[in-house]
Chains A and B, each alone.
Chain A
Amino acid sequence: MTNREKYRRAFSSLRMPEGYSVSLRQRRRDQKKRLKLAAAAACAMLALCAGGVSVYAADLGGVQRTVQVWFHGDQTSALITIGDEDGATGYSLQDAEGRTIQGGGGVAMEGDGSDRPLTESEMQEYLNYPEKITGDGRIYLLYKDQRIDITDLFDADGLCFLTVSSGSETLYVTVTRNAGLSASTKRYVQKKELPEEWFR
């Protein structure tokens, strides 16, 4: 067999997962909401890098709950709106003066390509994800009430691997010195699995 024949035979087995259908009608609306989630994530990262805050206004309306989440190492009230007018779940965080400092929204994709609002616990999990911040020339990882100085823990590739725990939950966190971080409940995410852009 030629290399091309070998390659084609191997890659012909890689298909979209069973049961996953391309749902074009649904996705016209979802695209807007998913972009919102992406924008919210980007805002958070920018805010953390800059050591400041960023505002992303969320236009919400639906079943609302106020929950406690960790944000920048402090417990903060978050208003979570489950199933807003677009069928998504949104959140907004306010400062002590009641001003919105961050917000966003998102949907979860089902196996058949349809979507549903994120549940309250999924949104809380999203909001409680570890964060990396810098200050005074140091780099810290924030996870709930924990603040860990990781400045001197990076290897030659600019990666830091550490485990954080809270209650029964253990997270394996891979932090890059110059970009984002990735966490898993199963194992450390390795360099080759991270976006190449993070190392440029």
Chain B
Amino acid sequence: MRRPVEELVEKYRDSVFRAALSVSRNPEDAEDAVQDTFIQYMNSKRQFESEEHIRAWLLRVAINKSKNIMTSFWNRNRVAFEDYMENTQFQEPEDRSLAEAVFSLTEKYRVVMYLYYYEEYPVREIAEILHISEGTVKSRLARGRKALRDILKEAWDIDE
């Protein structure tokens, strides 16, 4: 199956942007990754099994493109992230603290946590999206959670 790309942009652009931002910590690079991801979909003749399959594909492509952008370009305007965060309106003050804590983690933890906590993928599907083992996903989740607990104290519960 295929969906019109305009529908996918409307529905998933913020999710794809967040996934890309989780990799790059740079809103400009994340925007580029979003553009490139939807263009790749548009140019691809690939057929998908379901809309869920399309969503997972878009997230995987965005994550990979973000990694490519980071290594392809000279990183010259990276202070943009701080400006972006300053200009972002969070619902509650603790939301900003949580987001800043997540972005202080290294990329491999940020991406796994985004897919798990925001996109609500189970460990097995995160492993498929990132092409890593389930054990690696679990390990990164555990270390990411511990790091957040260390930073946020009681504002981040000890969960599974």
A residues lining the B interface (CB < 8 Å): 2-4, 6-17, 20, 22-24, 27-28, 30-31, 34, 37-38, 41-42, 45, 109, 113, 129, 180-184, 186-187, 189, 192-197
| A27-B38 Cα distance, complex, nearest whole Å | 10
Q: Is the CB of B25 within 8 A of A193?
A: yes
Nearest CB on A from B46, distance (A): 17
In the bound assembly, the distance between CA atoms of A93 and B92 in angstroms comes to: 52
With an 8 A cutoff between CB atoms, is B51 at the interface?
A: no
Interchain nearest-CB distance for B138 vs A (Å): 16
A22 to B102, CA, bound (A): 26
- For residues 1 through 23 of chain B, which have their beta carbon under 8 Å from a beta carbon of chain A? 5-6, 9, 13-14, 17-18, 21
Flag if A182 contacts B118 (CB, 8 Å).
no
Q: A23, B88: Cβ atoms under 8 Å?
A: no
Asked if B70 and A197 make an inter-chain contact with CB atoms under 8 angstroms apart, the answer reads: yes
Given contacts A9-B91, A22-B38, contact A2 B74 (CB under 8 A): no
Would you mind naming 13 contact pairs between A and B with Cβ atoms under 8 Å apart?
A: A17-B31, A24-B5, A27-B36, A31-B39, A41-B74, A42-B72, A186-B79, A189-B75, A189-B78, A193-B78, A195-B71, A196-B106, A197-B71
| Cβ contacts under 8 Å, B84 to chain A | 17
A114 to chain B, nearest CB (A): 11
B75 contact from A15, A34, A113, A195, Cβ within 8 A: A195
B38 touches A24 (CB 8 A): yes
Contact A182 B74, CB 8 Å, known A3-B117, A193-B81: yes
Answer whether A22 and B71 are a contact pair too, CB < 8 Å, given A11-B99, A11-B118, A182-B76. Answer: no
CB distance from B26 to the nearest CB of A (A): 8
- Cβ-neighbour of A14 out of B21, B31, B73, B117 (below 8 A): B21
For window 45-99 of B, CB contacts with A under 8 Å fall at: 67, 70-79, 81, 84, 88-92, 94-96, 98-99
Task: Point out the residue from A17, A192, A195 that lies within 8 Å of B27, measured CB to CB.
Answer: A17
A148 vs B28: C-alpha distance when bound (angstroms): 31
The reply to whether A16 and B106 contact each other, CB–CB distance below 8 Å, is no
The reply to whether A7 and B98 form a contact with Cβ atoms under 8 Å apart is yes
Complex: how many Å from CA A88 to CA B118?
38
Chain A's closest residue to B83 (CB) is A186
Q: Is B34 an interface residue (CB 8 A)?
A: yes
Q: Which residues of chain A have C-beta atoms less than 8 A from B74's C-beta?
A: 41, 45, 129, 180-182
Q: A22-B13, A22-B34, A193-B81 are in contact. Are A38 and B73 (CB under 8 A)?
A: yes
Distance in angstroms from A58 CB to nearest chain B CB is: 18
Q: Is the CB of A2 within 8 A of B34?
A: no
Residues of B within 8 A of A184 (CB): 76-79
Query: A24 and B42: CB pair below 8 A?
Result: yes
Q: Are B117 and A8 in contact (CB under 8 A)?
A: yes
Cβ B72 vs Cβ A41 within 8 A: yes
Determine if B34 and A16 form an interchain contact, defined as CB atoms under 8 angstroms apart. yes
Is B108 part of the contact surface with A, judged by Cβ < 8 Å?
yes
* Residue of B with least CB distance to A31: B39
**Most chain A beta-carbon neighbours within 10 Å: one of B72, B92, B107:** B72
Question: B73 contacts A16, CB within 8 Å?
Answer: no
Q: Which residues of the other chain, B, contact A186 by a CB distance below 8 angstroms?
A: 79
